[in-house]
A and B are shown apart, each in its own frame.
Chain A
Amino acid sequence: MADVILKDIRKTFGVLDVIKGVDLDIKSGEFVVFVGPSGCGKSTLLRMIAGLEDISSGVLEIGEQVMNDVDPSKRGIAMVFQSYALYPHMTVRENMGFALRFAGQDKAEIARRVDAAAKILELGPLMDRKPKALSGGQRQRVAIGRAIVREPDVFLFDEPLSNLDAELRVHMRVEIARLHKELNATIIYVTHDQVEAMTLADKIVVLRAGIVEQVGAPLDLYDDPANLFVAGFIGSPRMNVFAGRVLGASGAAALVSLDGFADKEIAVPLQGQVPPAGTPIRLGIRPEHFTDAGEDSLSITIDMFEHLGGETFAYGRSTSGETIVVTTRNGRSLSTGHVLKAGFDPTRALLFAENGKRIR
Chain B
Amino acid sequence: MAHAKTSGARSGGLKRYYDVNGWLFIAPAIGLIGLFLIYPIFRSLYLSFFSGKGMMMKFAGFGNVARLSNDPVFLKALTNTTIFFVVQVPIMIVLALMLASLLNTDRLKFAGVFRTAIFLPCVASLVAYSILFKSMFSIDGVINQALLAVGLIGSPIGWLTEPFWAKVLVILAITWRWTGYNMIFYLAALQNIDRSIYEAARIDGVPAWARFVHLTIPMLKPVILFTTIISTIGTIQLFDEVYNLTEGKGGPADATITLSLYIYNLTFRYMPSFGYAATISYVIVVMVAVLSFLQFYVARERS
Considering the complex, give the chain A residue whose CB is closest to the CB of B214: A98
Considering the complex, give the chain B residue whose CB is closest to the CB of A86: B197
Considering the complex, give the chain A residue whose CB is closest to the CB of B194: A83
Q: Does A146 lie within 8 Å of B205, measured CB to CB?
A: no
From residue 195 to 223 of chain B, which have CB atoms closer than 8 A to chain A? 196-197, 199-207, 210, 214-215, 218-219, 221
Q: Does B203 lie within 8 Å of A50, measured CB to CB?
A: yes
- Could you mark each residue 214-249 of chain A with 1 if its beta carbon is under 8 Å from any beta carbon of chain B, else 0? 000000000000000000000000000000000000
Judge whether A13 is part of the interface by a CB distance below 8 angstroms: no
Of A26-34, A73-81, A204-212, the segment with at least 4 beta carbons within 8 Å of chain B is: A73-81
Partner of B202 from the list A73, A83, A150 (CB cut-off 8 Å) is A73
Chain A residues within 8 Å of B207, by CB: 102
Q: Does A81 lie within 8 Å of B206, measured CB to CB?
A: no
Q: Does B203 lie within 8 Å of A72, measured CB to CB?
A: yes
- Could you mark each residue 56-84 of chain A with 1 if its beta carbon is under 8 Å from any beta carbon of chain B, else 0? 00000000000000001110011101110
From residue 217 to 247 of chain B, which have CB atoms closer than 8 A to chain A? 218-219, 221
Chain A residues within 8 Å of B200, by CB: 79, 81, 85, 146
Bound CA–CA A336/B203 (angstroms): 56
Partner of B199 from the list A52, A74, A86, A98 (CB cut-off 8 Å) is A52
Bound CA–CA A91/B207 (angstroms): 20
Least CB distance from B296 to A in Å reads 17
Chain B residues within 8 Å of A146, by CB: 200, 204
A residues contacting the other copy or chain, number (CB 8 A): 23
Chain B residues within 8 Å of A99, by CB: 201, 204-206
Bound CA–CA A85/B200 (angstroms): 7
Q: How many A-B Cβ pairs are below 8 Å?
A: 57
Chain B residues within 8 Å of A52, by CB: 199, 202-203
Partner of B204 from the list A73, A82, A86 (CB cut-off 8 Å) is A73
Bound CA–CA A51/B207 (angstroms): 15
From residue 56 to 101 of chain B, which have CB atoms closer than 8 A to chain A? none
Bound CA–CA A50/B204 (angstroms): 11
Partner of B206 from the list A50, A86, A89, A98 (CB cut-off 8 Å) is A98
Q: Does A150 lie within 8 Å of B199, measured CB to CB?
A: no
Q: Does A72 lie within 8 Å of B219, measured CB to CB?
A: no
Q: Does B205 lie within 8 Å of A73, measured CB to CB?
A: yes
Judge whether A103 is part of the interface by a CB distance below 8 angstroms: yes
Considering the complex, give the chain A residue whose CB is closest to the CB of B205: A73
Q: Does A78 lie within 8 Å of B204, measured CB to CB?
A: yes
Judge whether A88 is part of the interface by a CB distance below 8 angstroms: yes
Bound CA–CA A102/B214 (angstroms): 12
Least CB distance from A357 to B in Å reads 38
Q: Does B203 lie within 8 Å of A79, measured CB to CB?
A: yes
Bound CA–CA A79/B199 (angstroms): 9
Considering the complex, give the chain B residue whose CB is closest to the CB of A77: B203
Q: Does A88 lie within 8 Å of B219, measured CB to CB?
A: yes
Considering the complex, give the chain B residue whose CB is closest to the CB of A89: B218
Bound CA–CA A103/B203 (angstroms): 12
Bound CA–CA A103/B204 (angstroms): 9
Chain A residues within 8 Å of B196, by CB: 81-83, 85
From residue 76 to 126 of chain A, which have CB atoms closer than 8 A to chain B? 77-79, 81-83, 85-89, 98-99, 102-103
Q: Does A150 lie within 8 Å of B204, measured CB to CB?
A: yes
Chain A residues within 8 Å of B204, by CB: 73, 78, 98-99, 102, 146, 150
Bound CA–CA A85/B202 (angstroms): 12
Chain B residues within 8 Å of A79, by CB: 199-200, 203
Interface residues of A (CB under 8 A from B): 50-52, 72-74, 77-79, 81-83, 85-89, 98-99, 102-103, 146, 150
**Can you list 17 contacts pairing A with B, beta carbon distance less than 8 Å?**
A50-B199, A72-B203, A73-B206, A77-B203, A81-B199, A83-B194, A85-B197, A86-B197, A87-B197, A87-B201, A89-B219, A98-B206, A99-B206, A102-B206, A102-B210, A103-B205, A146-B204
Instruction: Known pairs A79-B203, A87-B201; list 4 more (Cβ under 8 Å).
Output: A73-B204, A77-B203, A78-B204, A83-B194
